[in-house]
Each structure stands twice: as C-alpha cells, then as structure tokens.
C-alpha cells in the first residue's frame, strides 16, 4: 500500500517518514509515536489513520474513470481543463491516442490536483493535503505541503512494494529517472521528485506525468479500473473557539 511522503520542512530540514525510513534510524520521539499494537502492519496503520480523517474520500472505479463517492460526476470536460491538458511543455512527449476513459481520467486527476493545491491556501490550515492514484499495487501519489508551493510526487518502487520487482525492469527504472525526472529510491523507498507549482499548467503537467507513469511504467491499460484517494486537512479553529470549546 501507499507509503508516507517526505516533504522538506520550512526550516530546510528533512521530515522523517513514518514508513519510508528505516525504523532503526527513528528518534525517541518518533518511536513514541509508533502504533501501540506491536503487530500492526504499515498497511493497517495507514488505513487506520486515513479512516479517522473526516476529509478523506475515495474515488471508486466507474468503468469510465473514477468519480468521487458522494460527489456529482461531471457531465463533461471543461474546455479550460482540456486546454491545460493538451498544452505540452517543451520536449514533453505527446500522450498519443486517448480513449474517452483516458481523457476522463486526466480531467479528474487534474481536478484532484487543483483541489489539494488550493486547500493549502485556506486560512489556518497546517496539515498536508495529498492524493493517490492507484490500480492494484501500483500507485502514483502527490503531497501538497501546507507551507510550500510545490508537489512532492512519488512513484512506487519494489523497495516499498516487492511485487513491483516483476514490473520495474532496469529499463523502466532508468526511464523513471532519466525521462520522468525522479530520484531513484534511497532515503525514500519510492521514486520521488519535487515539482514547483506556479499555476494550473504545472498541475496539468503532473496529471499527464501520472498518466504516463501508470500506463508506460506500470502497464496500466484500463484507467476505468483505477482508484483515487484524496485527503484534505481541516482548517484549525481560531484560538478563541478552542478556548470556548474547552470550557464547554
């Protein structure tokens, strides 16, 4: 299942990942934050934590891309999204022929990326928003740190999900680094990179990258079978409200 991200902290130091770092390197404070259940697996811990987040939502496969549970599916692709998704960066390869399902996936992926990027602009938000695009054991995930203007993107590796070893040939590992710009697994167990976000065109670039990585690296052929998970942090209550709640 998904690993946690390793964003840069505001002071430039590195944040220890709860699942992407070797437990032997954990500090005492980090160890104290470990689950009390000694046999709780990483997957169980992740699912427990996200299930406790009231802003967590999951998109279910619809056969034509994914739709957010409880949300009204879009009746059509906004022209602005289409323009963003078809405007390639210099030297960026074309996506090729896309089915209606593929196009719907790209539009929805861009909408989710815009959502997590905009969520950090809300007043009093201190947590990090993120979304995960997955099919089977393969996934591409993006974190939007509350203090930053970039996305931390990760593509799963066999160091985190051993089954990926059968898919990630040396050629594909090399493509992730040379073609897609990822850093090979090291301190992070996944392929990772930081992408600056100055506008929606950068988010559209990430959506196209996620599509190409899932299709070209992890052999995803049916994007109607994919799922998306998205987590948006709740804004913190003003101090006066917190004091009032405490008195009550």
Predicted TM-score (pTM) of the model is 0.69
DSSP state of 111: H
Per-residue pLDDT of the chain (248 residues; tens, 9 = 90+): 455 554 454 444 444 333 343 434 444 443 333 334 445 444 444 445 555 554 444 444 444 443 333 333 344 445 788 888 888 999 999 999 999 999 999 999 999 999 999 998 887 777 889 999 999 999 999 999 988 899 999 999 999 999 999 999 999 999 999 999 999 999 899 999 999 999 999 999 999 999 999 999 999 999 999 999 999 987 766 655 444 455 55
Report the side by side order of strands in the sheet with 227-231: 66-68, 56-61, 227-231, 129-135, 138-144, 150-155, 191-196
DSSP state of 74: P
Contact criterion met (CB below 8 Å) for 245 and 237: yes
Q: What pLDDT sits at residue 229?
A: 92
Closest CA to 207 of 128, 104, 126: 104
Query: At a CB cut-off of 8 Å and minimum separation 6, what does 182 contact?
Result: 153, 155, 176, 191, 192, 193
CA dist list (Å): 36 to 31, 40, 134, 149, 170: 10, 8, 29, 35, 39
Q: What 3-state DSSP class applies to 26? A: coil
Q: What pLDDT sits at residue 76?
A: 46
Q: What pLDDT sits at residue 247?
A: 53
Axis-axis angle for helices 100-119, 200-212 (nearest 10):
130
Q: What pLDDT sits at residue 235?
A: 75
Taking the alpha carbons at both ends of the chain, their separation in whole angstroms is 40
Q: What pLDDT sits at residue 84?
A: 87
């Amino acid at each position: 299942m998904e690993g946690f991200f390793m964003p840069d902290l505001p002071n430039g130091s590195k944040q220890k990942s709860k699942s992407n770092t070797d437990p032997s390197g954990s500090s005492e404070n980090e160890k104290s934050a470990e689950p009390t259940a000694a046999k709780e697996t990483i997957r169980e811990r992740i699912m427990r934590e996200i299930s406790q987040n009231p802003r967590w939502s999951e998109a279910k496969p619809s056969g034509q891309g994914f739709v957010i549970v409880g949300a009204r599916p879009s009746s059509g692709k906004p022209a602005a999204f289409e323009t963003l998704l078809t405007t390639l960066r210099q030297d960026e390869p074309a996506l090729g022929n896309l089915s209606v399902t593929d196009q719907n996936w790209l539009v929805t992926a861009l909408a989710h990326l815009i959502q997590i990027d905009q969520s950090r602009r809300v007043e009093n938000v201190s947590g990090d928003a993120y979304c995960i695009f997955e099919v089977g054991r393969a996934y591409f995930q993006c974190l939007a740190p509350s203090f930053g203007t970039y996305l931390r993107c990760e593509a799963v590796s066999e160091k985190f999900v051993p089954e990926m070893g059968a898919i990630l040939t040396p050629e594909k590992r090399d493509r992730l680094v040379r073609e897609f710009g990822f850093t090979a697994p090291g301190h992070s167990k996944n392929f990772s990179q930081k992408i600056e976000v100055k506008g929606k065109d950068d988010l559209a670039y990430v959506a196209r990258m996620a599509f190409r990585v899932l299709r070209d690296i992890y052999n995803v052929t049916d994007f109607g079978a994919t799922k998306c998970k998205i987590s948006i942090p709740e804004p913190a209550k003003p101090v006066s409200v917190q004091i009032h709640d405490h008195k009550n």
